[in-house]
Amino acid sequence: MATLLVDKKDQLFVLKEMLNIEKLCKFPQFEDHTEFDMVLSEAHRFAKSEFYPTAEEGNTKGCIFDPKTNTVKFPECYRKPYEKFREGGWLSMCDSPESGGDGFPLTIGTAVSELFYAAGFYIYGTAELSHAGAKVIEKYGTDAQKALYMTRLFSGEWMGTMCLTEPDAGSDVGQIQTTAVEEPDGSYCLTGTKIFISAGEHDLTKNIIHMVLARIDGDPPGTKGLSLFIVPKFKTDNDGQIEERNDVVCTGIEKKMGLHGFVTCTMSFGDKGQCTGYLLGKRGNGITEMFNMMNEQRLLVGLQGLSYSSAAFLHAVDYTQTRKQGQSVDPEKKDIGGRVPIIEHPDIKRMLLTMKSQVDGGRALAYYTSFSMDMACVSTGKEKAKWQGITELLTPIVKAYLTNNSWEMTGMAIQCAGGYGYCSEYPFERLARDCKVSSLYEGTNGIQAMDLVFRKLIGNNCKNFAELLKQIETTIQVAHQIEAIKPYAVTIGSLKDELAKLLDQFITEKKLGDTLSLYAKATPFLEAMGDVLLGWLHLWQMTIAYEKLQAFGGEETILKSTRNKKDEAFYFGKLNCAKFYIDTLLKVTKGKIDALTVAQTPITKSFNNSFTG
């Protein structure tokens, strides 16, 4: 079943043939890690045998809230897989040995995470929040906080949460009303309500550590007055032995469209005036500290969106190969008679190719971003700054582009399966319901687009964008040397230039004060930029696949003999997928860019009249 979740062969292609991940092992930080194939194989085995069997029960039984005790029960089937997950050290595989991790590159960790999200998001998504909490304590915590909380979060002994959102303060974080009053012993008493808190209450671990954004009494309004606090569900001694329940309770869980096996809670802090929290880092530095968690989660949420698209695509391929309906419309097969598998129908092939191109391109984008983080880790000086800049630039695109696509791709998979795709006996409708929230949380995709345009591009004077363009240009130059794929290089080069020209226009509009129009254009611009980036990555893959096919005898030779030759068929598929994306889907992107060159005059202060007449 793991093969219907993530294509391992494509994972290895991106890791080894595109990114050449082995070169990271030449650096001291990663010199002990070379067995990436073995790690990935074990991850596939674990995902298939432990995580995936919990998906259906998690979806149908869901999480149960008991209003009498204010507790939440996870499905019982989660327990053993989670304990095995903990024992395997999967959660901290990319963290330093000093923190209890294995020190693997983030790039290989990203490949493992994609697989675990696809197989068992309900468990893995819960656990990953603990990792984000551990990382922020690692960076800002005291030695005592690290010893008590960080180590147990990294190991998965305890789980963690991220508590930002309030009933009147969603994306507008500066409006947070939760307050903290300092106690004589240096701790703080917190009072307030948080909503949509993932894994805020459950029975999978003995303790839950909440990372809570609050305003210390007397501090200024807005984001500058916020601080970050560690608030445990149970108070403990310095050795982690539980002593008493803290004054923090779950007052209800959200009834959601999807993710029924993944709990989100309304949390009340200090109803009895006895909620104890501990300041993390510096007073008033909470928003900076919290965004360390947010940025990690944004990349992971993008990966989550990719995992849904991948599973939907592979299940669609499997279904369309076995479902027989209608006769072939191929003139060469029309006289065969009888019903054919629906994968033979051109419209189905079009949808499958669309899904494959988005999944393959999205995987390359996510892995390349993690590779940029690894390169920043092993580099120094200007080289380090370059890779950090590319990572910052790509983060909102990974989050928004891949999650927007997941909604479209899971819907397309339903379409491939017809009426059965809409029924719960197949996984398509669950994947569609589950994926939608990924475009909403950790900052809605509209916020990601505004962050991209105003901070990561214009606010950065396009320095990081210029570095990314150099990377793209390198691929274009390589492709120009191969006559058969030169036309595709020309297409990518043209779109790259048009995207840069459009950004120059945006900068001019900003200088002229036309920011209202830019806010409206941010989301379609992110979409267009994501399209172009996938085009670049497909071109990169095309250069590799073409050379491989030549070694096998060329496309015509392969076309006659791929049926039983998996390697040849794989590269043939990569080449044709890239051609389809650049020749077909990317043609639409030219129109998207053209549309953004037009001033959006209806987006004015009186725009509401357009709805009311």
Task: Give the Cα separation of 388 and 401 in Å (integer).
Answer: 20
CA dihedral 504→509→511→513, nearest 10 degrees, is: -160
Active-site residue flag, 442: yes
Q: Which two tokens stand for residue 118?
A: 């696809």
Backbone dihedral region for residue 456 (phi beyond 0: left; psi -120 to 50: alpha; all else: beta) = alpha
Q: How do 188-198 and 208-216 pair as beta strands?
A: unpaired
Angle CA 259–343–563, to nearest 5: 115
Determine which one of 166, 296, 442, 498 is catalytic: 442
Residue 258 CB-density burial (10 A; 0-12 exposed, 13-18 middle, 19+ buried): middle
Alpha helices in 278-345 (DSSP H): 286-322
Task: Give the Cα separation of 59 and 424 in Å (integer).
Answer: 10
> Hey, how many other C-beta atoms are within 10 angstroms of the C-beta on 292?
17
CA atoms within 13 A on the CB side of 507: 13
Look at the alpha carbons of 417, 419, 425, 428 in this order and tell me if their dihedral is positive or negative. Answer: positive
Q: Is residue 72 helix, strand or coil?
A: strand
- Please enumerate in sequence order all residues whose Cβ is within 8 A of that of 80, keeping only pairs 6 or more positions apart, or say none: 50
Task: Give the Cα separation of 469 and 573 in Å (integer).
Answer: 27
CB–CB of 93/134 below 8 Å?
A: no
Q: Which two tokens stand for residue 504?
A: 């120059």
Q: Which two tokens stand for residue 355?
A: 């899904």
Position 387, amino acid:
W
Cite the active site residues: 442
